[in-house]
Amino acid sequence: MSLYSVVARNACWISSPFLENHAMTVPDEQSWTEDNILLSPNDYPDDATSETGLWPEKTDIKRFSNLSRWQRWKRYSIFAILLTISIGLNIVLVLRQIGLSSSAKSSSTYDGGHSQYSGLSRNLSKELKYHSPYWDKNETTASKLWDQLEIHTGFVALDKSWTDRKNLPRGDSFPWDDSKSIYVLNAFHILHCLQMFRISIVESHHNRPQSMSYKHLQHCLNDLREDAMCNADDTPRYTHPWPDRVTGADGQLRQCRDFEALSTWARSNTACFSFLHRNDPSWNKTARFRHCPPDSPYLPAIRKTYGFGDDWLPDLNISPSWSRSTNS
């Protein structure tokens, strides 16, 4: 049932008692049609009398005419009030629907809405490139770029109260502040997986022994599949005429989030993580989280735990990626 039907039905229900009360003042001798009601007393013939059974006396006509106008005014007033309420309710429903639509858009990953955790939006246009320095023919150049990816930046320490509000599972407690939990941002974990595959590919190409475990590579492969299906990037990549490359998309633009902005957000919540090879004498779980920046509030706790002097600072020149700590 539409909102208009409900209002119309209510209008009839509200006005019915009013009409019944005033109908008692109308003479019983005659049933009046709408045409009769619209006539004024002067419209009736002078010889019309109540005895004829056709017309009531003029005094009755005046009284009935006055009551009819009042009755119509009241009826129209009630209808106008209900119509105003109906319009108001429809406006509220429309605005609510617009609000729900906007809310749904804000959660989308491709329409400029902000991400749930770091607040990033897809406001960066980037070209899809067929050729990239990351697979340059000069393998040394490409390897240097891959090694410079700061995967360790993706380890963050987040307030437990904040993660609870975001309905995140509790991570391992941050060793220098028990009010925080440790997390790895997904984008950085995906980059880690890509690094693992590149190492394996390069080693295979040069007939070197594989340093990456088969199980680790399978795990990363599945993570890449899940990430692609979760993001469901619907960018239509244009194709080249056959027999050229079937898929190219070279130079085509797509909307991206700013990875540097994500890195900045991660650094502001750093877990002070750095990669250490298991054969490193200083390796242990907690030692990986003692590589804080010089202005970190956690340095006093680290110095106290390890018996370092007040002037101790961590070595921040350790390789930032998995590529040189293959057994990590």
Q: How far apart are CA 9 and CA 7, in angstroms?
A: 5
| Span 49-58, average pLDDT | 46
Lowest model confidence (mean pLDDT) among 85-89, 95-99, 101-105: 101-105
* DSSP reduced 3-state for 239: strand
Q: How far apart are CA 125 and CA 255, in angstroms?
A: 5
* DSSP reduced 3-state for 273: coil
Q: Quick one: pLDDT at residue 239?
A: 82
Identify the residue whose tokens are 């023919």: 137
Q: Residue 253 phi/psi, 5° resolution?
A: -90, 145
Q: Are 115 and 122 in contact (CB under 8 A)?
A: no
pLDDT tens, position by position, 232-262 = 999 898 887 766 665 668 888 999 999 999 9
Over pLDDT 70: what percentage of the chain? 64
How many C-beta atoms lie closer than 10 Å to residue 66's C-beta? 11
Q: Are 289 and 276 in contact (CB under 8 A)?
A: no
Query: Which tokens belong to 283?
Result: 């390796």
* Residue 270 DSSP code: B
Lowest model confidence (mean pLDDT) among 72-76, 156-160, 319-323: 319-323
User: So where are the chain's domains?
Assistant: 3-106, 141-234+258-324
Helix (H) or strand (E) holding 20: helix 3-23
Q: Quick one: pLDDT at residue 185?
A: 97
16, burial (CB in 10 Å: exposed 0-12, middle 13-18, buried 19+): exposed
Query: Dihedral of the CA atoms 119, 121, 123, 129 (nearest 10)?
Result: 110
Lowest model confidence (mean pLDDT) among 69-83, 110-124, 199-213: 69-83
- Across 40-44, 76-80, 191-195, which has the greatest mean pLDDT? 191-195
pLDDT surpasses 50 at 84? yes
Q: How far apart are CA 328 and CA 317, in angstroms?
A: 17
N-term to C-term CA, the chain: 65
Lowest model confidence (mean pLDDT) among 90-104, 127-141, 257-271: 90-104
Residues 6+ apart with CB under 8 A from 254: 125, 126, 128, 233, 235
The verdict on whether omega for the bond into residue 243 sits within 30 degrees of 0, i.e. cis, is yes
Lowest model confidence (mean pLDDT) among 60-64, 162-166, 197-201: 60-64
Supply the DSSP string of 280-310, one letter for each residue.
Answer: STT-STGGGG----TT-TTHHHHHHHHT--T
pLDDT surpasses 60 at 85? yes
Q: Quick one: pLDDT at residue 83?
A: 83
pLDDT surpasses 80 at 57? no
Q: Quick one: pLDDT at residue 277?
A: 59
Q: Residue 187 phi/psi, 5° resolution?
A: -60, -40
Greater pLDDT, 176 or 64: 176
Query: Which tokens belong to 236?
Result: 């239509």
| Span 18-30, average pLDDT | 42
Q: Quick one: pLDDT at residue 32?
A: 40
| Span 182-203, average pLDDT | 95
Of 80, 96, 89, 60, nearest in space to 15 by CA: 80
How many C-beta atoms lie closer than 10 Å to residue 323's C-beta? 21
Q: How far apart are CA 68 and CA 45, in angstroms?
A: 21
Q: Quick one: pLDDT at residue 55?
A: 46
Q: Quick one: pLDDT at residue 274?
A: 87
Q: How far apart are CA 328 and CA 326, in angstroms?
A: 6
Identify the residue whose tokens are 């002097």: 309
Lowest model confidence (mean pLDDT) among 8-17, 162-171, 265-274, 312-321: 8-17
Going through the chain in order, the beta strands assigned E by DSSP cover: 124-127, 155-159, 172-174, 177-184, 253-256
Q: How far apart are CA 124 and CA 110, in angstroms?
A: 11
